[in-house]
Copies of this chain bind each other. A is one copy, B any other.
Amino acid sequence: MRFPKVAVVGVGLIGGSFALALKSARACSHVVGIGRGAANLEWARELGIVDAIGTDAADAADADLILVATPVAQYARVLAEMAPRLKPTAIVTDAGSTKRDVVAAARAALGAKIAQFVPAHPIAGAEKSGAAAADAELFRGRRVVLTPLPENSAAVVRSAEDAWRACGARLGRMSPKEHDAVFAAVSHLPHLLAYALVHEVAARGNSAQLFGYAAGGFRDFTRIASSHPEMWRDICTANRDQLLGELDRYVAKLRALRPLVEAGDGAALEKIFAEARAARERWLSGDYE
């Protein structure tokens, strides 16, 4: 048994799926679920996602493997609670969507025990949330980005990789800074853009008419504007420098398109549209897997 005792702090979609996936892979035998929502935790125990529950991250301290899967804003408290009693052999990983702020919070809370913390970001998720949405197959074939720290030994990083690999994930490595730059471009900016479009349409005097004629294209384009506002508030503030850079580049792109639209320059527009479509089709075909 690779990780006899596992603790999951934050038993939502990600935390619950992590527990189920490790059990399904027979990589652990006992999972403690820790959280603040008593009903959700009881539900997770009834569903067999976790075997025991607790309300304090200190209850995670005797685990061999700990996943922190709470909102990132709670990391400082959660890690401070578990730090004093953390076993020297325990591996701690997480599921936060931003990494530089997570690393800063972990360094402050864990001190020298930062060597036991291997930051991670599973590229999985859904609009669903809560333990009831947990799925042992959620990470199957999905990417998990690890952003190992200088303090991590090779063995510690391998252990964290073993855990995520047992969940069926494909592993990648980046620095925390590189991670935050990449996800600002392909995730954080699109979320901001989608929220902005829906907010703009909703603010119009004829918003009922506009929504009345909005169809499938609008629905897909704005799907991510149904994401959790608190989570995206935290991501946008934690990664604000990178997000700002992406926002500025995108506005510059739109300003470069403007004269083409104004002039009715069909040839130039068609070229851009065709290049974008070709790039997207290449991506969909798996060329960048």
From A224, which residue of chain B is reached at the shortest CB distance? Answer: B217
From A121, which residue of chain B is reached at the shortest CB distance? Answer: B213
Chain B residues positioned under 8 Å from A289 (CB to CB): 212
Given A182-B213, A258-B244, A272-B199: A288 in contact with B229 (beta carbons within 8 A): no
Chain B residues positioned under 8 Å from A208 (CB to CB): 288
Given A258-B244, A261-B243, A275-B202: A270 in contact with B212 (beta carbons within 8 A): no
CB distance from A126 to the nearest CB of B (A): 8
This chain's copy number in the assembly: 2
Per-position binary interface string of chain A over residues 221-255, scored 1 when its CB falls under 8 Å from any chain B CB and 0 otherwise? 11111110110111011001001100111110111
Residues in A lying within 8 Å of B, measured CB to CB: 123-126, 142-143, 145, 172, 182-183, 185-187, 189-202, 204, 206-227, 229-230, 232-234, 236-237, 240, 243-244, 247-251, 253-255, 257-258, 261-262, 264-267, 269-270, 272-277, 279-284, 287-289
Chain B residues positioned under 8 Å from A288 (CB to CB): 208-209, 211-212, 214
Do residues B190 and A233 form an inter-chain contact, with CB atoms below 8 A?
A: no
Given A199-B275, A276-B195, A277-B229: A234 in contact with B266 (beta carbons within 8 A): yes
Question: Which secondary structure dominates where chain A touches chain B?
Answer: helix
Do residues A244 and B261 form an inter-chain contact, with CB atoms below 8 A?
A: yes
For the complex, give the distance between the alpha carbons of A80 and B240 in Å: 56
Do residues B190 and A276 form an inter-chain contact, with CB atoms below 8 A?
A: no
Do residues A223 and B221 form an inter-chain contact, with CB atoms below 8 A?
A: yes
CB distance from A23 to the nearest CB of B (A): 25
**CB contact between A186 and one of B125, B201, B220 (< 8 Å): that residue:** B201
